[in-house]
Amino acid sequence: MGMKKNRLERRHLMEAFMKALMYISFVIVAGALGLILWTIISRGLPSLTWDMVSQVPKGGYYMGKEGGILNAIIGSLYLAAGGTLLAILLSLPIALYLKTYLGQSKWGEYVRLSLDVLWGIPSIVYGAFGFALMIAFGMRASLLAGILVLALVELPIMTRAMDEVIRRMPADLEHAALALGSTKFEVALNVVTRQMLPGIVTAILLAFGRGIGDAASVLFTAGYTDRIPTSLMRPTASLPLAVFFQLGSPYPEVRERGYAAALILTIIVLAVSFGARWLSGRLNKYTIK
Amino acid sequence: MDAHIQVKNLDAYYNKQQALKNVNIEIPKNQITVIMGPSGCGKTTLLKTFNRFFELTENTKLTGEVLVDGQNIYDKDVDVTEVRKVVGLLAQRPSPLPMSIYDNVVYGMHLHKMKKDRKEYKEAVRHYLEIAGLYEEVKKRMHDPATSLSIGQQQRLCLARGLAVEPEIILGDEPTSALDPISSQNIEARLLELKQQYTTVIVTHTLRQAKRLADYVIYMYLGEVIESGPAKEVFGNPKHERTKQYLEGLF
Ligand SMILES: Nc1ncnc2c1ncn2[C@@H]1O[C@H](COP(=O)(O)OP(=O)(O)OP(=O)(O)O)[C@@H](O)[C@H]1O
Ligand SMILES: [Mg+2]
Identify whether residues A6 and A130 lie together within a single domain: no
In a domain, B239, yes or no: yes
Decide if B161 touches A, using CB distance below 8 A: yes
Quick one: pLDDT at residue B177?
A: 87
Q: How many domains does chain B have?
A: 1
Decide if B111 touches A, using CB distance below 8 A: yes
Q: Note the pTM of the prediction, 2 decimals.
A: 0.82
Binning pLDDT at 50, 70 and 90, where does residue A47 land? confident
Quick one: pLDDT at residue B171?
A: 95
Identify whether residues A63 and A16 lie together within a single domain: no
Binning pLDDT at 50, 70 and 90, where does residue A198 land? confident
pLDDT at A197 > cutoff 70: yes
In a domain, B86, yes or no: yes
Inspect the interface and report whether the beta carbons of A287 and B98 lie closer than 8 Å: yes
Quick one: pLDDT at residue A54?
A: 84
In a domain, B27, yes or no: yes
Q: Looking at the CA of B36, which ligand is closest? A: 1
Q: Using CA positions, which residue lies closest to atom 16 of ligand 1?
A: B42
Quick one: pLDDT at residue B123?
A: 93
Identify whether residues A12 and A73 lie together within a single domain: no
Quick one: pLDDT at residue A279?
A: 83
User: What mean pLDDT do residues A81-110 have?
Assistant: 90
In a domain, B144, yes or no: no
User: What mean pLDDT do residues A107-132 have?
Assistant: 92
Residue type, A102: L
In a domain, B139, yes or no: no
Quick one: pLDDT at residue A285?
A: 78
Please enumerate in sequence order all residues whose Cβ is within 8 A of that of B128, keeping only pairs 6 or more positions apart, or say none.
B105, B160, B161, B163, B164
Identify whether residues A96 and A174 lie together within a single domain: yes
Low-confidence ranges of chain B (pLDDT < 50): none
User: What mean pLDDT do residues A251-269 have?
Assistant: 90
Q: B45 in ligand 1 pocket by Cβ < 6 Å?
A: yes
The three-class DSSP label of residue A222 is coil
Distance CA A281, CA B187 (A): 34
Looking from the CA of B244 toward its CB, the CA atoms found within 13 Å total: 5
Inspect the interface and report whether the beta carbons of B97 and A287 lie closer than 8 Å: no
Q: B42 in ligand 1 pocket by Cβ < 6 Å?
A: yes
pLDDT over 90, % of chain A:
47
Q: How many domains does chain A have?
A: 2
pLDDT tens per residue, range A10-41: 888 888 899 999 999 999 999 999 999 999 99
Residue B223 CB burial class (10 angstroms; 0-12, 13-18, ≥19): buried
> What beta strand segments (E) does A212-273 contain?
none
Please enumerate in sequence order all residues whose Cβ is within 8 A of that of A141, keeping only pairs 6 or more positions apart, or say none.
A134, A220, A221, A222, A223, A235
In a domain, B198, yes or no: yes
DSSP B193-223: HHTTTSEEEEE-S-HHHHHHH-SEEEEEETT
User: What mean pLDDT do residues A43-62 have?
Assistant: 84
Q: Checking DSSP bridges between strand B169-173 and strand B216-221, what pairing results, if any?
A: unpaired
Q: How far is A198 from chain B (nearest CA, A)?
A: 12
Q: How far is A275 from chain B (nearest CA, A)?
A: 23
Decide if A86 touches B, using CB distance below 8 A: no
Q: Kindly report the backbone phi and psi dihedral angles of residue B97, in degrees, each rounded to the nearest multiple of 5, phi listed first.
A: -80, 155
Q: B40 in ligand 1 pocket by Cβ < 6 Å?
A: yes
Quick one: pLDDT at residue B250?
A: 58
In a domain, B79, yes or no: yes
Distance CA B98, CA A195 (A): 6
What separation in Å is there between the alpha carbon of B222 and the centre of ligand 2? 13
Torsion sign, CA atoms B236, B188, B198, B19: negative
In Å, what is the CA distance from A92 to each residue of A97, A150, B85? 8, 16, 29
Identify whether residues A38 and A162 lie together within a single domain: no
Q: Checking DSSP bridges between strand B3-14 and strand B60-68, what pairing results, if any?
A: antiparallel
Please enumerate in sequence order all residues whose Cβ is within 8 A of that of B206, keeping only pairs 6 or more positions apart, or say none.
none
Identify whether residues A21 and A73 lie together within a single domain: no
The CATH number that applies at residue A67 is 1.10.3720.10
Between A103-107, A252-256, B173-177, the lowest mean confidence (pLDDT) is in A103-107
Q: How far apart are the first and last CA of chain B?
A: 31
pLDDT tens per residue, range A162-183: 999 998 888 899 999 999 999 9
Inspect the interface and report whether the beta carbons of A176 and B96 lie closer than 8 Å: yes
The CATH number that applies at residue B233 is 3.40.50.300
Inspect the interface and report whether the beta carbons of B107 and A180 lie closer than 8 Å: yes
Mean pLDDT value across chain A:
89
Domain extent, residue A175, equals 52-286
Quick one: pLDDT at residue B115?
A: 86
Identify whether residues A156 and A134 lie together within a single domain: yes
- ipTM, interface predicted TM-score of the complex: 0.90
In Å, what is the CA distance from A16 to each residue of A5, A26, A27, A202, B247? 13, 15, 16, 34, 55
Nearest CA in chain A to B145: A286
Identify whether residues A17 and A83 lie together within a single domain: no
Identify whether residues A117 and A10 lie together within a single domain: no
Domain extent, residue B11, equals 3-97+171-247
Distance CA A152, CA A217 (A): 10
Binning pLDDT at 50, 70 and 90, where does residue A2 land? low
Decide if A195 touches B, using CB distance below 8 A: yes
Quick one: pLDDT at residue A1?
A: 56
Decide if A273 touches B, using CB distance below 8 A: no
Q: B49 in ligand 1 pocket by Cβ < 6 Å?
A: no
